[in-house]
Amino acid sequence: MLPCPAVELYEASIIAFDNDGTLYPAGPAVGEMVLKAHADYVVQNRLNIPTPGLDWLQHMIGVDAREFYAEMLPDQPPAVRADFENFCLDYELQAVHAHPYMYDGAEQVLAALKRAGRRLALVTNGGPTYVKHVWDACGYGRFFEVSYPNTPPEFVSKGERLARAIAELGGGPAVMVGDRASDLEAAEQAGAEFIGCRYGYALLHELDGARYTVADVSGLYNLLLAPEER
């Protein structure tokens, strides 16, 4: 897709947000519950597969859900991986219920954007059930018009899902806000601008190619809202 003409970020009519590490800070807590689920699953199913550690988890938060679960069960057939993903859902729900909040200031940013007339989309690599848990727990429906999780069986790229969200919201200048290289790549694929969130789960230098970055949620105000809207 060709990029939109260059505009100030606050002139964009559509703002898309990633979830984990951008709006939702409890990714590590959810991930730790998935590690617990893995330990239980391999015992119950007599699989000789070690449970990954926290360093692996830090590296993997925010990646494509298929890749996340596949790496936890290497050399297992797709049916087993799908079964494990379903097995994890109750564990994930427990973690989300224990952490029903966004990053400090995120709710205020979303509310300000909505008041200013921006159209908001959630575009995330999380699976649909997990994303729905977070959506309900954090009240995302107050702000977002559409949600594009990584949904089977299509599992289309994040860039394609971002492009679909932009089209569904009427097209026009758009910004993708996220904390991982996959968010930057999605923005490039969909012809959107990008803001990198350095407070999230990006690895060292992962966001070095981003033109705009913020150190905390409050930095989004100055980039996404015109002076008279702040």
The answer to whether residue 109 sits within a structural domain is: yes
Q: Which residue has the tokens 């806000």?
A: 177
> Is the sign of the CA dihedral 22, 23, 25, 31 positive or negative?
negative
The answer to whether residue 209 sits within a structural domain is: yes
Whether residue 42 sits in one domain with residue 124: no
* Model confidence band, residue 165 (pLDDT cutoffs 50, 70, 90): very high
Residue 19 in contact with residue 132, Cβ under 8 Å? no
Residue 4 is predicted with a pLDDT of 47
Mean pLDDT of all residues belonging to the chain: 93
Residue 155 is predicted with a pLDDT of 83
Question: How many Å apart are CA 213 and CA 136, to the nearest integer?
Answer: 28
Whether residue 133 sits in one domain with residue 92: no
Q: Model's pTM, two decimal places? A: 0.92
Tally the domains of the chain: 2
Residue 154 is predicted with a pLDDT of 79
HEC string for the chain: CCCCCCCCHHHCCEEEECCECCCECCHHHHHHHHHHHHHHHHHHCCCCCCCCCHHHHHHHCCCCHHHHHHHHCCCCCHHHHHHHHHHHHHHHHHHHHHCCCCCCCHHHHHHHHHHCCCEEEEECCCCHHHHHHHHHHHCHHHCCCEEECCCCCCCCCHHHHHHHHHHHCCCCCEEEEECCHHHHHHHHHHCCEEEEECCCCCCCCCCCCCCEEECCCCHHHHHHCCHHHC
Domain termination residue (choose one: 98, 129, 145): 98
* Model confidence band, residue 5 (pLDDT cutoffs 50, 70, 90): very low
* Residues listed for the chain: 230
Whether residue 111 sits in one domain with residue 40: no
> Is the sign of the CA dihedral 153, 184, 19, 27 positive or negative?
positive
Tokens read off for 47: 């699989």
The answer to whether residue 2 sits within a structural domain is: no
The answer to whether residue 50 sits within a structural domain is: yes
Percentage of residues in the chain with pLDDT exceeding 70?
Answer: 97
Domain termination residue (choose one: 42, 67, 98): 98
The answer to whether residue 40 sits within a structural domain is: yes
- What is the arithmetic mean of pLDDT over 40-52? 97
The answer to whether residue 222 sits within a structural domain is: yes
Which range is least confidently modeled, 21-25, 55-59, 103-107, 223-227? 55-59
- What is the arithmetic mean of pLDDT over 201-214? 94
CATH of the domain at 219: 3.40.50.1000
- What is the arithmetic mean of pLDDT over 83-102? 95
Residue 153 is predicted with a pLDDT of 78
Tokens read off for 34: 């998935």
Vertex 187: Cα angle to 182 and 193 (nearest 5): 135
Whether residue 138 sits in one domain with residue 175: yes
Over 50: is that where the pLDDT of 2 sits? no
Whether residue 194 sits in one domain with residue 218: yes
Over 70: is that where the pLDDT of 139 sits? yes
Whether residue 79 sits in one domain with residue 53: yes
The answer to whether residue 1 sits within a structural domain is: no
- What is the arithmetic mean of pLDDT over 36-44? 97
* Model confidence band, residue 7 (pLDDT cutoffs 50, 70, 90): low
Domain termination residue (choose one: 77, 98, 119): 98
Whether residue 34 sits in one domain with residue 138: no
Whether residue 125 sits in one domain with residue 55: no
Among candidates 67, 13, 61, 14, which has minimal Cα distance to 197? 61
Percentage of residues in the chain with pLDDT exceeding 90?
Answer: 82
The answer to whether residue 68 sits within a structural domain is: yes
Over 70: is that where the pLDDT of 6 sits? no
Higher-pLDDT residue of 5 and 83 is 83
Question: Structural domain of residue 176, as residue ranges?
Answer: 9-25+102-229
Whether residue 126 sits in one domain with residue 39: no
Whether residue 218 sits in one domain with residue 107: yes
Whether residue 91 sits in one domain with residue 46: yes
Whether residue 20 sits in one domain with residue 39: no
Over 70: is that where the pLDDT of 47 sits? yes
